[in-house]
Structure 1
Amino acid sequence: MTEVRCEIDEGVAVVTLAAPQRRNALTVEMAAELIAAFDEIDARDDVGAAVVRGSGGSFCAGAHLGVLDGAAADPLDDDAQRHIDALYGSFLRVGCSRVATVAAVRGPAVGAGLNLALATDLRIVARDARLIPGFLRIGVHPGGGHYTLLARAAGRDAAAAVGLFGREIDGARAAELGLAWQALPDAEVEAAARELAAPLGADPALARRMTASFRREAGPPGTPWDVGLEVERGPQMWSFRRRATARSA
């Protein structure tokens, strides 16, 4: 891999977008590398969580202009369709990973880059990070499930303000709205994300079951309480038996 790095330590994978010369803007090739990184993570039983970060002080500046220009030139062209699908597929791959995911967001997260951050289970952001929808600014309809991702994280009003009205927000405001768990000084963001991931990395088998249950129940769409009870029953009984077995060993 040349523009996506994956380093695994103590059950936590750190996935780095490594194209700082363009503020980690996503190309088709980079999207394929991101998918491959999560294929590797999911194939390993010793990983319970993943942190997604950007290099060079930026999270992700969105889709590379070459991808956007190709789509604009002929939106119905087969290659243009495949290239857009590749970008969207990378968000979906992160969101469907078997492990819990945390985005460590520093600097700008623009358009597709904001989608990538929102595809994770949890976000830690720098207070001065810039969350920029960007679509309205360039006269393009949002894509990648942008409204769904915003609404599931922070509700309808926040989704309208950011996605529909195109409001840029900083990390501090993102945390106030519920788009991020915590806003911190820039230098503390990645360590905090790694610290959050560490307990899940310490018990990957349990972490993967918890992650699956969390997503089924939390949605979208959300799960009714009685259905949630049944979703949790099997994994919880597995964990009881494992605990008893460990005690008797």
Structure 2
Amino acid sequence: MTAEIDVEIADGIATITLTAEKTRNALNPESSRRLARACDEIDANAEVGAVIVRGGGGTFCSGAERDVLARAGEDPADPERFAELGAVYDAFVRVGSMSVPTIAAVQGAAVGAGVNLLLATDLRIVATNARIIAGFTRIGLHPGGGHFALLGRLVGREAAAAIGLFGAEVSGIRAAELGLAWEAVDAAEVDGRARELAATAAKDPELARRVVGSLRRELDPPGVSWAAALELERGSQMWSLRRRDVRG
């Protein structure tokens, strides 16, 4: 089951919705490439001043599909399988590099790579009962996708260790307390609140694109770039995938 990537544009706001109910909006190489193409199309539309990323069916994103991880674990050095997992990485990197301000509207669970997807956006509005679960170490995997670079820039070392290393689950309320999200609201209000915030940027798309570029250049951590973090983590994650496959 491939997640559909639906895009709606209205009033200068593009809404990207992941829709794959059977897999709880998990990403695979095909849907990841669709997501990246959607970002390209939105960037090319000068009338768009803000983007909302959300999941349909009451779930944000449950990460990468299990088959993608299993295939990578069978032979991490195989170029095709290396590229398949890389496509999932590329999707949320593409979200994070959009020329338009982005907001994640998070309901339900965000798990694994789904956490990286919400972290890739500029701002997060979460449901109070949302469940944010990095969960990599729980299933015997090293985090990938520059997870700690993304997480640490928001919550600091202590919380990044709790979430990414020790597997702590974070509720929507706790996410707002940690600075992982701007606001936690009732689930029924998430989309509306995200749209309310997006509307301000959408009034002047040209200005919004210039301002978000400055924000990222000035405030993103200078120590290790996201691209470098991706490469630093890739080898260890592929090793963990192979080890898990061997162990069965």
Q: Shift of residue 220 of structure 1?
A: 2.2
- Distance in 2, Cα, partners of 1:68 & 1:2: 16
Does residue 8 of structure 1 match 2:9?
yes
* Per-residue Cα deviation, 1:135-158 (whole angstroms, up to 9, x for no partner): 011100000011111101111111
Where does residue 125 of structure 2 map in the other structure? 124
* Per-residue Cα deviation, 1:47-106 (whole angstroms, up to 9, x for no partner): 111000000000000100110010111111111100111000011100000000000000
- Distance in 1, Cα, partners of 2:55 & 2:61: 6
Does residue 200 of structure 1 match 2:206?
no
In structure 1, the gaps of 5 or more residues are 223-249
1:42-191 residue pairs with structure 2 within 5 A? 42-191=43-192
Contact 2:61 2:111 in 1 (8 A): yes
User: Aligned residues: percent identity?
Assistant: 57
CA spacing shift, 1:194–1:138, aligned 2, 3 Å:
same
1:23-34 residue pairs with structure 2 within 5 A? 23-34=24-35
Runs of 4+ in 1 over 3 A off after TM superposition: none
- 1:186 aligned partner, one-letter code: A
- Distance in 1, Cα, partners of 2:27 & 2:168: 22
Contact 2:3 2:25 in 1 (8 A): no
- Distance in 2, Cα, partners of 1:220 & 1:97: 18
- Distance in 2, Cα, partners of 1:121 & 1:2: 23
Where does residue 240 of structure 2 map in the other structure? none
Give the TM-score taking structure 2 as reference length: 0.88
- Distance in 1, Cα, partners of 2:123 & 2:84: 27
- Highest CA radius of gyration, 1 or 2? 1
Q: Shift of residue 169 of structure 1?
A: 1.0
Q: Shift of residue 2 of structure 1?
A: 6.9
- Distance in 1, Cα, partners of 2:112 & 2:132: 8
RMSD between aligned alpha carbons? 1.2
* Per-residue Cα deviation, 1:214-234 (whole angstroms, up to 9, x for no partner): 111111228xxxxxxxxxxxx
- Pick 1 or 2: higher relative contact order, CA cutoff 8 A, min separation 6: 2
- Distance in 1, Cα, partners of 2:10 & 2:108: 25
Where does residue 243 of structure 1 map in the other structure? none
